Chains A and B, each alone.
Chain A
Amino acid sequence: MISVTIDGKKTQVPVGTTVLKAAEMAGIEIPTLCDHPQLTPYGGCRLCLVEIEGARTLQTSCTLPVSNGMEVRTNTPRIHEARKFILTLLFSERNHFCMYCQMSGGDCELQNAAYGEDMTHWPLQPNWQPFAVDGSHEHIVLDHNRCILCRRCVRACGELIGNFTLGMSERGSLSMLAADLDVPLGESTCVSCGTCVQVCPTGALIDRASAYLGREADAERIKSTCVGCSVGCAVELVVRDNQLLRVEGDWDGPVNAGILCQVGRFESLKDARQRIVTPLLRKNGTLKAATWEEALSYLSDKLKPLAGKNGDGVAALASTRLPNETLYAFRQLFAGKLGSEMVTSIEEGVTVNAAGRVAQELGGPFEGDLDALKSADCVVAIGADLVDNHQVAGFLLRRALPNGTKLVVIDPFENGLHDLADYSLRPEKGTDYDLLKGLMSAIISLGLTQSEPADLATHTPEEVSQTTGVPAATIRDAAQMIATSQKPTFIFGKGVTRQESPQVLKALIELARLVGALDPERSAIIGTKGQANSTAAYMYGLDKPFEINGHQAVYLALGDDKVSQRLLKRLEKAPFIAAQASHASAVTAMADAVLPVEMWAEQEGHYLNLGGRLQEAHRGLSPPPEAWSNVKVLDAIATRMGYILDTNWQKALHDRVPTTRFSK
């Protein structure tokens, strides 16, 4: 620790702390514009200038590390004069007229900075040069007129997302924010994660959907968890008058630390499906509105007689987007009380089963958490296209690459990661098992094993190159890269888990063991899983392949989920379908009873992410008056049939051997 005096206040800070951070720790506020807590200090806007005793000129506090005994002043006439001058120049550069900007009135950091300096007017008038407004992007509007060139977006795009779409063109007064080689944003390599919008201090980058719909002061922020996929990003729902204005990444989120992907930030708001607002019962061939009372009686009469029937009773399917509370109630009602054998999820266990079986054989969890990507120096991605899905996991990986993290991609199929890989291995379809054997054999022959040689290392790179089509030299080089890294981390996805046999996964685990990656202290092996609650669905035993066979009824707890064409085809054969769903769909159209439920932004509940992290979803919007929570519907049906469901969902999570350690 070293000591620093700021505005007469003496304080101790760790070595390397910037003056800005030290001031913050001492409770002294220094205005900033280009600085952002999640981004590397840049020192571009000069607003954070401070006086340092003994220094000739004012210094940017965001980039200046504290030295022992330093004396700092943040509140002198000289500093205020400098800040006003900086702001005056900023306002004169482009069009910063507040009266027709959606950020005005609290949301604009530039305006707030001017208020902070009691600026009543602009000493210099703007130069009246019009700049382009780039409206080419589906979700984002880039208004160069409002840009102050602080480069927060540029740094966010590179440092947080690893996408490097945004940069600057030209220099000095001609500097302009540019996408790629100065193409329209909508035609660029932008992945629509929207992080640039979230960090923009002015109205230069705005979200098309929520622009002008309300200021921060008019809206409420509700912390929740994204249910777009199993990564489980922490989000903030920005809500005004029961309208979801936008979704932002929660900077305090343990998994995503503020970043989101297109699915979580933008797609989740674009649901154009029609809401189901009342229970519906099929009468004389058509669905008619009914009361809850009628619907519950009807279902109870239909389902109760099917209790205890095996194979010709009720088959039940639940979405993996539903929270733990619902999935647990679902299992109790259909597997427990009604005694059905066919109780599963719409993922049918595909994304977790293989890992689950391996965990059972190993007698404990073997998977790690995405946190491992922060320190991994070599990542092996197999059958996981993190550019296409589980994108935030992809961002965490991609942003590590410029820091020297190596990437080996194994996937016979098109995969966005191939282009980013140090070694992109594309074995012939169905030969990834052979390839892994070759990699292991190469590691052993290189003498780089961290543990006992593996039984599976039966084929040399030369031999497997015959079947896989991957050159032996490439296999050796990739093996060397993996084996010589300090913290190798393995990510496997659908390409591995959807295979019938868990042999590829077992080979991968063997490979990981060989290079010491099964030691959680050193590194990790991570499965991407599927939807938001794939892991919990597996833990509750909702993992069977779904078959209707002789079942007389199908109960579908769909929530706000969509059903695949494959599943829809199978459902067509069902003699009777009851569905609890938030939106109308092909499934509800063919159902005999439809029960209206809450959608993701309306619900309360828990989710278990791919790394075993138990997270909370919270209600941001009030549901339509007749839409019940998913768990309440199941409870009501059970009660009507004379059953009582317990709420020990937490305890039941431990009924099986988990693939990952649980954490909060």
Chain B
Amino acid sequence: MTKPKIASDWLAACAGCHMSLLDIDERIVEIAKLVDIRATPITDLKEPDEGGVDVGILTGAINTTTNEEVASKMRERCKILVSLGDCAVFGGVIAMRNFFELEDALRRAYVETESTDEEGKVPSSPELGVPTPVRAVHEVVDVDVFVPGCPPDADVIYYVLSELAKGRIPEIKDRNLQWH
């Protein structure tokens, strides 16, 4: 039996969820024995294999049209999509922006921040896409497994990965269910 392929990507997020993944420490070697870790933000391969992967993991909220494209691509190329962390699951801290007008939020972030000099301007590169209202991943694509947490505890991530590696759908409940 071939090892299941796993890919991950991050959307609008602080990278904390991937940090928490690294926090599983040496257990990552065990995971690596069980699964084939493919594209991730912290490996060389940046996009999930065209031929598809077994498990796709997304962290972060949907914040722009680019995030929408990344999420859709991951959904198309994976069998099981995992929404990991509070931003992906709920919208998270990123979603605070929804309580303000988009223009106000962008101006505050790129022009008015105390550390910004007079040159500060709202970026408009096409690569960044167009900002959208912030949404949880499941608002844009279907999600199979939700793993909330800000970030999810390394133990929870290890549990999720090892269950998926063994071909099982992890059950997120009791001690493994943490929204904070």
Contact = CB atoms under 8 A, between A and B. Distances in A.
Contacts of B93: 97, 99-100
A105 interface: yes
Contacts of B91: 97, 125-126
A98 B86 contact: yes
Which range contains the number of B residues in contact with the other chain? 20 to 34
Contact of B99 (A95, A98, A114, A118): A95
B86 to A, nearest CB: 5
B92 A121 contact: no
B158 interface: no
Given A99-B179, A130-B99, 10 more contacts: A98-B150, A99-B86, A99-B92, A105-B180, A111-B179, A114-B179, A118-B177, A120-B172, A125-B139, A126-B91
Nearest to A115: B177
Most buried by B among A111, A115, A125, A129: A125
A97 B92 contact: yes
B29 interface: no
Contacts of B150: 98-99
Contacts of A95: 99
B179 A125 contact: no
A122 interface: yes
Nearest to B149: A99
B147 interface: yes
Contact of A128 (B99, B143, B147, B179): B99
Contacts of B10: none
B155 to A, nearest CB: 16
Interface string A115-143: 10010111001101110000000000000
Contacts of B95: 97, 126
A122 B90 CA distance: 7
Contacts of A121: 83, 89-90, 136, 138, 143, 146, 148
B105 to A, nearest CB: 12
B168 interface: no
B135 interface: yes
Contacts of B96: 97, 100
A305 B127 CA distance: 92
Q: Is the interface of A mostly helix, strand, loop or mixed?
A: loop
Nearest to A122: B90
B24 to A, nearest CB: 20
A207 B160 CA distance: 37
A125 B135 contact: yes
A528 B98 CA distance: 54
20 contacts: A97-B86, A97-B91, A97-B92, A97-B93, A97-B95, A97-B96, A99-B179, A100-B96, A111-B179, A114-B179, A118-B173, A118-B177, A120-B89, A120-B146, A121-B136, A121-B143, A125-B139, A126-B95, A128-B99, A130-B99
A104 interface: yes
Contacts of A122: 90, 136
Contacts, number: 61
B90 A97 contact: yes
Interface of B: 83, 86, 89-93, 95-96, 98-100, 133, 135-136, 138-139, 143, 146-148, 150, 172-173, 177-180
Interface in A521-562: none
Contacts of B89: 120-121
Nearest to B176: A120
A122 B180 CA distance: 14
Contacts of B178: 105
Contacts of B172: 118, 120
B136 A125 contact: yes
Most buried by B among A98, A104, A120, A126: A120
A133 to B, nearest CB: 11
A202 B64 CA distance: 32
Contact of B180 (A104, A118, A125, A128): A104
B147 to A, nearest CB: 7
Nearest to B179: A98
Contacts of B180: 98-99, 104-105, 111
A120 B177 contact: yes
Contacts of B100: 130
A118 B175 CA distance: 11
Most buried by A among B177, B179, B180: B179
Contacts of B179: 98-99, 104, 111, 114-115
Most buried by A among B83, B99, B138, B143: B99
Nearest to A124: B139
Most buried by B among A114, A121, A130: A121
A176 B72 CA distance: 39
Contacts of B146: 120-121
Contacts of A105: 178, 180
A100 B93 CA distance: 8
A446 B48 CA distance: 96
A126 B98 CA distance: 10
A396 to B, nearest CB: 39
Contacts of A118: 172-173, 177
Contacts of B98: 126, 128
A236 to B, nearest CB: 24
Nearest to B83: A121
Nearest to B134: A128
**Which 4 A-B residue pairs are closest in the complex by CB-CB distance?**
A120-B146, A99-B150, A104-B180, A128-B98
A508 B4 CA distance: 88
Contacts of A100: 93, 96
Nearest to B146: A120
